[in-house]
């Protein structure tokens, strides 16, 4: 329902009507939940026949604070990558050092070998800086893109997402590509960096959350991209390839961002969602992610503003030229605008308009319209995220489930988390009143989680190799709690 229902200003009413498709009813979310639930079940049966792939991560049980020593973590997933040195002591883990490097656009769209060389060079100089000379040091690799894993240290890239599209990587084992690049950069006297595990950022977040809360069963990222993972019972996994030894569970990387790629979400997609998708580097892919993650919300916002100006409803029909530039709006600005909840003077919205369009003349009504549109887009995203979490939490047959989350949008936005919780409560109250779903912030899961997995792998030294139906699978199980 619109917050401006009783406002008599004609332009506000017009803007309200034009953008009503961005406001979904609970009935719509119930349908989204139904479709998600169906798709999750399909993905658990077969990766090939589903849009939500439900990838096996081979991470079986969650850490138990027994890890010791120093490990490296490499985190690649956004426009920056990070290298971290993490130290585990008796009761604590500490990030000793972390460097962050921007990845130039030409590398994100160039040859894969150049990208891996660039990263390897930074990893090696980081190791040298820490005098890790002449030692063998284990590295956990957080690679936040869809992977078909064959084991903890073998994973083929299925497709690029977000702002990457490097040639010669899709279909290849990215651990091998990284190892090869490291080999090219490592010389005799310098460290031997051993890539022992690869995980997704959601898995890292879940692992980091599990250290704090024993009910943590779901890992969620809502940042540049969006995705979730959770702990599933082996008995529910037709595609689990081999033994049913303890622990009888495995972390599943849902890759739920691809939900809707088979058109099932068309009933809630707006003209702006469609035009954004049509002009994106991966058109037709990651439909759900494009409705909710930080990389796309500002572009939806920009497109809606353009429509309203075109229809003469906003800024008196005058187009600020800045608005023509793709990616000219940031998620940070959208978060700022959402701070104006008292709806009296709209200070933040006013500031945002001045910052975005310095030469634009605007009035009270324009400010209210900009606030309303922004709010509709961010709220829809939070409610979509909640629906995804609810559909997953239903699969976990325990009363209390904690969700570890990370990512700039959910962590830095003033109300995103509250809106997720509100929508979750609505689902819980009408379906499972006894259930409790708690959101916990997992700081830096994508760094810490990879180091923990590396530590566990290293402790167990060599993964077991299992052969089945002519295929070789590798598995490392963690110690149970």
Which residues contact ligand BGC (rule: CB under 6 A)? 77, 144-146, 161-162, 200-202, 221, 223, 225-227, 255, 257, 289
Q: Is 144 a catalytic residue?
A: yes
Give the DSSP per-residue string, 159-183: ---TT---BT-BTSBHHHHHHHHHH
Query: Which residues are CB-contacts of 345 (< 8 A; sequence separation ≥ 6)?
Result: none
**Smallest separation, CB 207 to ligand BGC (Å):** 14
Nearer to ligand BGC, 127 or 228 (CB): 228
Nearer to ligand BGC, 161 or 374 (CB): 161
Catalytic residue among 16, 60, 75, 82: 82
Q: Annotate 326-336 with b (16+ C-beta within 10 A) or e (fewer).
A: eebbebebbbb
Q: What span, in angstroms and rounded, lies between the C-alpha atoms of 243 and 227?
A: 28
Residue 422's Cβ-count burial label (10 Å; 0-12, 13-18, 19+) is middle
Nearer to ligand BGC, 19 or 227 (CB): 227
Which residue blocks in 244-360 are alpha helix, DSSP H? 271-278, 287-292, 297-310, 331-337, 347-356
**Smallest separation, CB 52 to ligand BGC (Å):** 11
Nearer to ligand BGC, 164 or 427 (CB): 164
Q: Annotate 286-324 with b (16+ C-beta within 10 A) or e (fewer).
A: bbbbbbbbbbbbbbbbbbbbbbbbeeebbbeeeebeebe
**Smallest separation, CB 376 to ligand BGC (Å):** 23
DSSP 232: E
**Smallest separation, CB 388 to ligand BGC (Å):** 12
Q: What span, in angstroms and rounded, lies between the C-alpha atoms of 64 and 3?
A: 47
Catalytic residue among 50, 61, 93, 144: 144
**Smallest separation, CB 261 to ligand BGC (Å):** 12
Nearer to ligand BGC, 348 or 413 (CB): 413
Residue 231's Cβ-count burial label (10 Å; 0-12, 13-18, 19+) is buried
Q: What span, in angstroms and rounded, lies between the C-alpha atoms of 257 and 220?
A: 12
**Smallest separation, CB 429 to ligand BGC (Å):** 29
The CA-CA-CA angle for residues 63, 68, 73, to 5°, reads: 75
4 preceded by a cis bond (ω within 30 of 0) = no
216-222 vs 400-406, strand pairing mode: parallel
Nearer to ligand BGC, 11 or 227 (CB): 227
**Smallest separation, CB 200 to ligand BGC (Å):** 5
Indicate the angle between helix axes 271-278 and 297-310, nearest 10 degrees. 120
Q: Which of 250, 237, 216 is nearest to 57 (CA)?
A: 250
Q: Up-side HSE of residue 58: CA atoms within 13 Å toward CB?
A: 26
Q: What span, in angstroms and rounded, lies between the C-alpha atoms of 452 and 222?
A: 22
Q: Is 381 a catalytic residue?
A: no
Nearer to ligand BGC, 88 or 405 (CB): 405
Q: What span, in angstroms and rounded, lies between the C-alpha atoms of 180 and 187?
A: 13
**Smallest separation, CB 478 to ligand BGC (Å):** 21
Q: Which of 419, 421, 428 is nearest to 33 (CA)?
A: 428
Catalytic residue among 201, 277, 338, 340: 201
Query: Which residues are CB-contacts of 187 (< 8 A; sequence separation ≥ 6)?
Result: none
Provide the token pair at 170: 């899709």
**Smallest separation, CB 163 to ligand BGC (Å):** 10
Q: Is 8 a catalytic residue?
A: no
Residue nearest to ligand BGC (CB): 225
Nearer to ligand BGC, 209 or 257 (CB): 257
Nearer to ligand BGC, 201 or 421 (CB): 201
Which of the residues are catalytic? Answer: 82, 144, 201
């Amino acid at each position: 329902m619109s917050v401006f229902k009783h406002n008599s200003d004609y332009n506000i009413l017009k803007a309200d009507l034009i953008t009503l498709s961005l406001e979904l009813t609970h009935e719509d979310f119930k349908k989204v939940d139904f479709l998600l639930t169906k798709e999750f079940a399909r993905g658990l049966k077969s990766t090939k026949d589903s849009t939500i792939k439900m990838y096996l991560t081979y991470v079986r049980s969650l850490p138990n604070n027994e890890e010791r020593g120093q490990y490296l973590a490499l985190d690649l997933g956004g426009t920056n990558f990070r290298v971290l040195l993490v130290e585990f002591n008796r009761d604590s883990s500490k990030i000793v050092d972390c460097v962050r490097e921007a990845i130039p656009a030409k590398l994100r769209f160039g040859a894969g070998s150049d990208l891996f060389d660039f990263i390897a060079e930074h990893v090696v100089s980081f190791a040298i800086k820490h005098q890790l000379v002449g030692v063998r040091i284990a590295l956990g690799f957080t690679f936040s893109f869809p992977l078909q894993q064959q084991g903890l240290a073998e994973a083929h890239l299925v497709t690029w997402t977000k702002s990457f599209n490097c040639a010669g990587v899709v279909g290849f084992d990215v651990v091998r590509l990284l190892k090869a690049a490291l080999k090219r950069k490592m010389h005799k006297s310098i460290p031997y960096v051993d890539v022992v595990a690869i995980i997704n950022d959601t898995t890292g977040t879940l692992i980091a959350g599990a250290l704090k809360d024993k009910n943590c069963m779901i890992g969620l990222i809502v940042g540049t991209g969006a995705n979730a993972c959770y702990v599933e019972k082996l008995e529910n996994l037709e595609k689990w390839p081999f033994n049913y030894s303890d622990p009888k569970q495995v972390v599943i990387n849902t890759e739920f961002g691809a939900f809707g790629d088979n058109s099932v979400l068309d009933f809630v997609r707006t003209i702006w969602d469609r035009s954004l998708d049509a002009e994106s580097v991966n058109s037709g892919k990651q439909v759900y992610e494009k409705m909710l993650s930080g990389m796309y919300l500002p572009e939806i916002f920009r497109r809606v503003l353009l429509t309203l100006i075109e229809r003469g409803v906003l800024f008196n029909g005058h187009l600020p030229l800045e608005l023509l530039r793709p990616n000219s709006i940031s998620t940070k600005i959208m978060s700022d605008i959402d701070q104006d909840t008292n709806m009296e003077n709209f200070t933040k919205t006013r500031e945002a308009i001045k910052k975005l369009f310095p030469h634009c003349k605007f009035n009270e009504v324009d400010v209210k319209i900009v606030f309303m549109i922004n709010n509709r887009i961010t709220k829809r995203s939070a409610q979509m995220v909640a629906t995804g979490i609810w559909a997953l939490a239903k699969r976990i047959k325990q009363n209390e489930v904690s969700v570890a989350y990370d990512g700039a949008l959910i962590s830095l936005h003033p109300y995103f988390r509250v809106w997720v919780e509100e929508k979750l409560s609505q689902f819980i109250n009408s379906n499972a009143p006894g259930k409790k779903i708690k959101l916990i912030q997992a700081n830096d899961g994508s760094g810490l989680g990879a180091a923990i997995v590396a530590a566990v792998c290293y402790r167990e030294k060599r993964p077991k190799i299992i052969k089945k139906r002519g295929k070789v699978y590798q598995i490392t199980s963690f110690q149970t709690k």
